[in-house]
Homo-oligomer: A and B are copies of this chain.
């Protein structure tokens, strides 16, 4: 991903390209495959692998701005911390409870044959399949 694209992610999220935000965007989007992260894991990476300083609030604010702009999604995982996902396509997850690891499942890999109709006056927005793993 080029610098231009990083700036595009920032601009389309209503964010000025400050050095903190550029570092965050580079880490999140300048890569070949998508991944899952928490604010904590993101902060760990940033403090270890970059030179600039990051206030926690800056990380929270930037991640939320990306999410609001549709550049990140959130995954529901049991537990206290929020998991984010750079894969914003419709997809599903394996969850390994031992390692707390999320693994993507492409939407095409799961086919649902039968599904109930939505209740009175409601529509189905999306269907999320979550597969818990054991050893």
The interface-forming segment of A11-19, A32-40, A57-65, A112-120 is: A112-120
Q: Are A111 and B113 in contact (CB under 8 A)?
A: yes
Residues from chain B with a CB closer than 8 A to the CB of A126 are 131-132
The reply to whether the CB of A88 lies closer than 8 angstroms to some CB of chain B is no
Per-position contact with B for A120-135: 1 when CB-CB < 8 Å, else 0?
A: 0111111111111111
Residues from chain B with a CB closer than 8 A to the CB of A103 are 119
The reply to whether the CB of A53 lies closer than 8 angstroms to some CB of chain B is no
The reply to whether the CB of A78 lies closer than 8 angstroms to some CB of chain B is yes
With A76-B76, A127-B129: A122-B134 Cβ-Cβ less than 8 Å:
yes
Residues from chain B with a CB closer than 8 A to the CB of A109 are 114-116
Q: Are A132 and B124 in contact (CB under 8 A)?
A: yes
Our pick among B74, B112, B123 for the contact of A134 (Cβ within 8 Å) is B123
A interface residues (Cβ-Cβ under 8 A, vs B)? 74, 76-78, 94, 96-97, 103, 105, 109-116, 118-119, 121-135
Known: A115-B131, A126-B131. 10 other contacts (CB 8 A): A76-B77, A94-B116, A94-B119, A110-B114, A110-B115, A122-B134, A123-B134, A125-B133, A126-B132, A127-B129
